[in-house]
Structure 1
Amino acid sequence: MGGVEVEAMSDIDWIRISRICAGYGGDLKREKVGETDLRVPLDNDTWLVKFLRPCKYYPKSAYELIKRYYAFKIKHANVYDGLLPSREKNIFQQDILTVQPNRDQFGRRILVIELGKKWKHKKCSLDEVFKGCVLFLEAAMLEPATQVAGAIVIFDMDGLSLQQTWQFTPQFAKRIVDWLQDAVPLRIKNIHIVNEPYIFNVVFALFKPFLREKLRGRIIFHGTNRESLHQHISPECLPECYGGTLNLPRIEGPQWLELLILSDKEYEAINSYGYKKKEKK
């Protein structure tokens, strides 16, 4: 399924959804009975559909996802409180995160994370990297085509050093895995690890205990084998550095920052929903 087909399908899907969201909204309101601490806009179709699509429109499953999504935000309030592009300039200025301007052959968004030689770990923490990923995926969740087709992630670990591996902790690994498995209302279809040195095994060992079978099966290691990568992502959708033929300029981190800052108000709206914070006694 190509990008154009996904766009068309998402448009048709949206017409169908706009007709039935009222019914689902009613179902979700019934699911929400008793959850007085959770503030969410169940009458907003645009908001509602981003939880319904990944759950194949089952109201109960969608509501469970909503609760997990907002519970995760409360649990990790140190990351999510006041999270806005304008407050996270450093991660974008480091230019180790980007979303490609194109989609893959299945219409999926492509997020690239470079945590090897480009990552200056003394200038940019893993928490900042995580915040940048959250900002990107929150934006992707609003795209109908991405809600339908999902996204893929490329981790480029070229040049990963021993000092960098020490930045990873079991606590950080668990947070990432919990987020991906339980709290992201978006289909993450595959995670591709490329250019990983042998020392990356030390990092991955931290994540393995928390991975369930479904996500573990979606993590694919390629090393420097571009033919292996191309079995999953068409060379036409990849830049030259990954053996591809894509002739579109890379969108640099500072460019993404300029674009995302324009949506600060939208992120403020996103941050306004969720569980009420318990007052400290």
Structure 2
Amino acid sequence: MSIVNEKDKHPYIDLGQDYKISLNYADILDEKHLAMAKEDLRETPEIREQALKELRELIEGEKNFVHATDDFFLLSYLRPCKFYAKSALERMQTYYSFKLKYKKYIDNITVESVRNIIEDGIFKYSPLCDKNGRRIVFIQCGKSWKLDRGNKYELFRCIQIIFQAVALEPLTQIYGVSMVLDMGGLSMDQVLTFTPSFASMCLKWAHDCLPLRLKKIYIVNNSKIFNIFWALFGPFMSAKLKERVHFINQNYDVLAEYMGKECLGKEYDGSLPVEHADGKVFVEFLKLYEKQFELLNASGFVEENDDIGDRRNKVNTLAKEILRTIKVK
């Protein structure tokens, strides 16, 4: 298992048998995907151009707010907001207000700072989308989470990296994400680390800040201990998000009906013939996209002691470097 970085192609983790983990930032050209974007998100060339223009003007009109204004970065907010520019700006600013409020837990996020959690295999991308075209993210929040290797705040920081990376994929912006939350091996010690304030913070981020369409959450291997966890987080979930949660436990045939057996590994009685990416390899893969997280850290509201010109220059420089690196024209 290794990272392959070929010239003029997106890097990927080679899992063998023609399966790979990659982040696909190429623009949408396929007519099927364009039709889906039009149906679900109101996206047409005319609406897209008008929304990009409006959002760019709104950002530039903010005196103490800095954000990359290249199409690539703006579309990551416009698509989840169905091309309503004001809603996209509000979501941006809600995130960066949230970032200021919880600066201690959110600022200066890097892959290296959460290396242990990624290496331990808590988070995984599937090499395949589910049968509805959605990006699949697996989270093993029970047996893979070792409290002496990463606390709940580091776990939250890692969640941001994992989801922000796929939020920039055009196809994921259109089809959304299916999340499989595996609670097998969840311990009481793990549950007791969570508090209502922490649960509220996490769900505020998921509801109001993340520019991503979280379409389904499948909870597998849930136990009686999980019920305590759910009692803590459940009250802070919106009705809309609760409707997208499905409790699977060990009924993997039901999971396969929802997602497709071919995209599930043997641990869920699926037919995917390869193992997940090794955690250490996954760390090095995500580090290829470190500039994206630097851009997140540099963007947002400019505080009184900061020079807005310097911040804009830094954001613009990072944005251009990212676009060059990920080969987006």
Structure 2 match to 1:83: 109
* Aligned counterparts, 1:162-201, within 5 A: 162-201=188-227
Unaligned runs of 5+ in 1: none
1:113 maps to 139
d(CA) in 2 for partners of 1:193 and 1:34? 43
* Greater alpha carbon shift after TM alignment, 29-38 vs 171-180: 29-38
1:66 pairs, out of 92, 106, 120, with 92
Query: Partner of 1:221: helix, strand, or coil?
Result: strand
Q: 2:52 is matched by which residue type in structure 1?
A: G
Describe how 1:125-204 pairs up with structure 2 within 5 A: 125-204=151-230
Residue correspondence of structure 1 range 19-98 to structure 2 within 5 A? 21-32=48-59, 35-42=62-69, 44-98=70-124
CA deviation after TM superposition for structure 1 residue 147, in Å: 0.9
What is the match of residue 256 of structure 2? Answer: 230
106 and 81 in structure 1: CA distance in 2 versus 1, 3 angstrom threshold: same
Percentage of identical aligned residues:
34
- C-alpha distance in 2 between matches for 1:146 and 1:238: 19
Aligned equivalents of 1:153, 1:207: Cα separation in 2: 16
| Regions of 4+ moved over 6 Å | 11-14, 16-19
Matched, 1:221 2:247: yes
Is the contact between residue 135 and residue 178 of structure 2 (CA under 8 Å) also seen in structure 1? yes
TM-score, reference length from structure 2: 0.76
Residues 153-188 of structure 1 show CA distances to partners (whole Å, capped at 9, x for unaligned) of 111111111111111111111111111111110100
Q: Give 1:29 deviation, angstroms.
A: 4.5
Question: Does the Cα contact within 8 Å between 2:114 and 2:150 map onto a contact in 1?
Answer: no
Q: Work out whether residues 154 and 191 of structure 1, in 8 Å CA contact, stay in contact via their aligned partners in 2.
A: yes
- Quick one: distance in 2 between partners of 1:266 and 1:220? 32
> Do the aligned residues in 2 keep the contact of 1:39 with 1:274 (CA within 8 Å)?
yes
- Give secondary structure in 2 for the equivalent of 1:191: strand
Q: Deviations over 1:219-261 (max 9, x none)?
A: 1111111122223111111101011111133112211101111
Q: Which amino acid aligns with 1:37?
A: N
Question: Please, what TM-score do these two structures have when normalized by structure 1?
Answer: 0.89
- Relative to structure 1, the CA distance from residue 10 to residue 70 in structure 2 (aligned partners, 3 Å threshold; closer, same or farther) is farther
Matches of 1:206 and 1:41, distance apart in 2: 37
Q: CA RMSD in A?
A: 2.5
Give CA-to-partner distance per residue, 1:114-137, whole Å, 9 cap, x none. Answer: 111222122221211111111111
The 2-side partners of 1:249 and 1:162 are apart by: 29
Pair 1:207-2:233 in alignment: yes
Compared with structure 1, are the counterparts of its residues 277 and 252 closer, same or farther at alpha carbon in structure 2 (3 Å cutoff)? Answer: farther
Q: Deviations over 1:25-80 (max 9, x none)?
A: 332255457632211123x1001101110111111221221221222222221222
